[in-house]
Chains A and B, each alone.
Chain A
Amino acid sequence: MSAPLLELRSFSTHYVSAGGRRVVRAVENVSLTLDAGQTLGIVGESGSGKTTLALSILRLLPPAARIVSGQIRFEGEDLLGKSNREMRKIRGKRIAMILQDPMASLNPLFTVGDQIGEPLRVHEGASRSAAGQRARELLAAVRIPSPASRARNYPHEMSGGMRQRVVGAIAIACRPRLLIADEPTTSLDVTIQAQYLTLLGELQREQGLALILITHNLGIVARMCDRVAVMYAGRFVEVGDVRTIFSAPAHPYTRALLDAIPRLGQGGGRLTAIDGVPPDLAQLPAGCAFAPRCPQAIARCEVDTPPAFTLEPGHAARCWLAGPEAR
């Protein structure tokens, strides 16, 4: 069996402020493996640490963030041991990222053709004309009609859906092995979202990309992902393959999330709301962070933090009720 493409082991990132007195545990003890060509969905609500985790992999964290423990291995190399200079050669070339708001990722003063060609000129030393030629091919690859004339457009001359395709074209320009997409379709309309997700899936197959999809939307996970990690208060509370997570969730938080969304084709029964709100990551409760909101919490949950219990190979949950004593 070959080594995974990406592997995180007991990885933690904290934000430290107020001279070290305030510590926000944004990512706590996260482990994951991702194979080439696989799609992993990371779901969680805002503030659960999903984006911090993605930025940690790329080492693009803001100055207040500290990687306090763990390892990140990508294609067998230790990313945490790399210098900034070495990381710059990895970002955009071997690992690319797509952000939520395409307008914020694009420079309004340059044509989209120039911006798609830029990573090729930087990473591969392509000439201006070669980069321009490749930019037109990439626009065609993300299914933008008349790519030759579109390459001369500025971002404001395009619709939201098209801009996000341009961002996709920039991301795949250097044929990365791993693409991290953080809420890539949140700003798009339903039909445009569907088109974009289809495109992402096709690009992934054509290029053998591994994909990490960060989203709060379980529908996107159901449609796109092979594996799912459910994140709550900085931790992976449940990890498993997508069918297991949707059909037999083991963590009460996963179950609650699935019950909280209205479904098409089901009558308008009451939704199961989760009482309360996610905890402050600077003042986490003792024990399991979900315990104060958990309908099934037992005394132990408020004292001891549950480890990740393996229910079957590839399916684990951080919940005492999933442990051998409770089963």
Chain B
Amino acid sequence: MSPRPLLDADGLVKHFPLRRELFHRAPGVVRAVDGVSFTIEVGRTLGVVGESGCGKSTTAKLILKLEEPTAGTIRLDGQDLAGLAGEGLRRYRRSVQAVFQDPYASLSPRMRVRTIIAEPLITHERLPGAEVARRVAKLLHMVGLPAQAADLFPHEFSGGQRQRIAHAPALALAPKLVVLDEPVSALVVSIRAQILNLLRDLQVELGLAYLFIAHDLAAVAHMSHTIAVMYLGRFVEIGDAKAVASAPRHPYTQALFAAALPSHPDETRAEIALAGEVPSPIAPPAGCHFHPRCPHALDRCRTVAPALREVEGRRVSCHLYDAS
């Protein structure tokens, strides 16, 4: 039995055209996202991992409708995002909120916390002043701050408290899905744990779904129900978080998790050396994008792009599993 999908993304593609330059006749495209499909269920977390430039932040922007997909569909509660306009689009924007890397940068130093948190309420809902004040106090309580915090300016808070404040506006409109793009990577260790715990608590209390994007593998594994591993615009493996993290099947996932740092000096991982670096998404390799660096590449990998197929409880796109 699988829970009802809240968000259903199907065949998402985002190509950015390169600027035409003098003497260059055929500018190409950056294939930032090159055909990814996933669902996120109510109250669940999809974690997306991958290295810089793999397309994970572009995927987040597509879901937030900050970028228009070149192809593919996004459905929220069964409704296609492409056809939305007016009130329907406003409802989508309320349902899907975002917290970005270094959320402190999103707090205006000249606004009181009250104004910062009330802003989405005022933009989206016509509420009397007393109701706004009540909602602000409730939101502060949700993120673990006293109601008096509303009267202060961001600089009057400690780093950890500011992080909490930065999460409050995203919750103001009772969203169904929150996109978290590297929400804790700018934080010091002790505060990072506070925020990860807060995000967990909010998910349970409010039934929130998360799209969690981070390069810290342990944090993603800790937070996610499902993990998708992205390489050059495509998912190479997607499935149950524990299965993917503890027994990765795609050679890239294996190399990625083998490169993760140990949590104890006695914990040794067999390192998997990958040849070279990630190729350019302007001219990704033919066939499987990963084949030039893959230690197990077959002839077929150079010409035929593998499809995602079911392997041991998750889906993997790799020719090594064709036979099974």
- Residues of A at under 8 Å CB distance from B? 45-46, 159, 161-162, 189-195, 198, 216-220, 222-223, 225, 242-243, 246-247, 256-257, 259-265, 267-268, 270-278
Decide yes or no whether B192 CB sits under 8 A from chain A.
yes
Question: In the complex the two chains form, is A246's CB within 8 Å of B188's CB?
Answer: no
With both chains docked as a complex, state the minimum distance between the C-beta of B6 and any C-beta of chain A, in angstroms: 20
With both chains docked as a complex, state the minimum distance between the C-beta of B273 and any C-beta of chain A, in angstroms: 7
Chain B residue, CB-CB nearest to A259: B193
Residue in contact with A190 in the complex, picked from B189, B217, B263, B264, CB distance below 8 Å: B217
Residue in contact with B197 in the complex, picked from A261, A264, A273, CB distance below 8 Å: A273
Interface residue tally on B, bucketed by range: 35 or more
- Residues of B at under 8 Å CB distance from A? 51-52, 158-160, 188-194, 196-197, 200, 215, 217-219, 221-223, 242, 245-246, 255-267, 271, 273-274, 277
Residue in contact with B51 in the complex, picked from A191, A218, A225, A246, CB distance below 8 Å: A191
- Given A261-B193, A264-B245, does the pair A192, B261 have CB atoms closer than 8 Å? no
Question: In the complex the two chains form, is A223's CB within 8 Å of B261's CB?
Answer: yes
With both chains docked as a complex, state the minimum distance between the C-beta of B182 and any C-beta of chain A, in angstroms: 13
Question: In the complex the two chains form, is B190's CB within 8 Å of A222's CB?
Answer: no
- Given A194-B271, A264-B217, does the pair A272, B160 have CB atoms closer than 8 Å? no
Question: Which residues in B have their C-beta under 8 angstroms from that of A262?
Answer: 196, 218-219, 221-223
Question: Which residues in A have their C-beta under 8 angstroms from that of B258?
Answer: 194
With both chains docked as a complex, state the minimum distance between the C-beta of A303 and any C-beta of chain B, in angstroms: 24
Question: Which residues in A have their C-beta under 8 angstroms from that of B160?
Answer: 276-277
Question: Which residues in A have their C-beta under 8 angstroms from that of B197?
Answer: 270-271, 273
Question: Which residues in B have their C-beta under 8 angstroms from that of A223?
Answer: 261-262, 265
CA distance A271 to B242 in the complex (A): 17
Question: In the complex the two chains form, is A263's CB within 8 Å of B189's CB?
Answer: no
CA distance A261 to B159 in the complex (A): 18
Residue in contact with B218 in the complex, picked from A191, A264, A273, A278, CB distance below 8 Å: A264
Question: In the complex the two chains form, is A191's CB within 8 Å of B264's CB?
Answer: no
CA distance A162 to B277 in the complex (A): 10
Question: Which residues in B have their C-beta under 8 angstroms from that of A257?
Answer: 189-190
- Given A263-B218, A264-B218, does the pair A190, B190 have CB atoms closer than 8 Å? no
